[in-house]
Amino acid sequence: MTKIEIVKEVSKSTGIEGNTVMAVVEGFMTAVKGSMAKGENVYLRGFGTFEVKTRKAKTGRNITKNTTVVIPEHKVPTFKPCPDFKSQVK
């Protein structure tokens, strides 16, 4: 499902104009990205948690040059669904 499809679905089910729904969806995504960029987790009760996790530094290999490369510690965004969400998907 794409963002446009989500906007159409919400617009159809709520009767709110598509442009308004698009603005809300864009605002939501901006707020989540902004919080995660600051290192804050986003908790949505009944849906799940957007978390910022730290990956440890590790050694990788560049197979084309046959050399080892150190991959530094870095942060990655993750999503952990709530138990109700998991059970609906199963």
Query: Which single residue is written with the structure tokens 């957007």?
Result: 50
At residue 90, the pLDDT reads: 86
* Long-range pairs of 21-30 with CB within 8 A, sequence gap ≥ 24: none
pTM comes to 0.80
For residue 32, give every residue at least 6 positions away whose Cβ sits within 8 Å of its Cβ, in sequence order, or none.
42, 50
Closest to 81 measured CA to CA, from 52, 50, 39, 42: 50
CATH number of 41-90: 4.10.520.10
Average pLDDT value for the chain? 95
Structure tokens at 30: 């901006």
Q: Would the pLDDT of 55 be above 90? A: yes
Ramachandran region, residue 18 (left: φ > 0; alpha: ψ -120 to 50; beta: rest): alpha
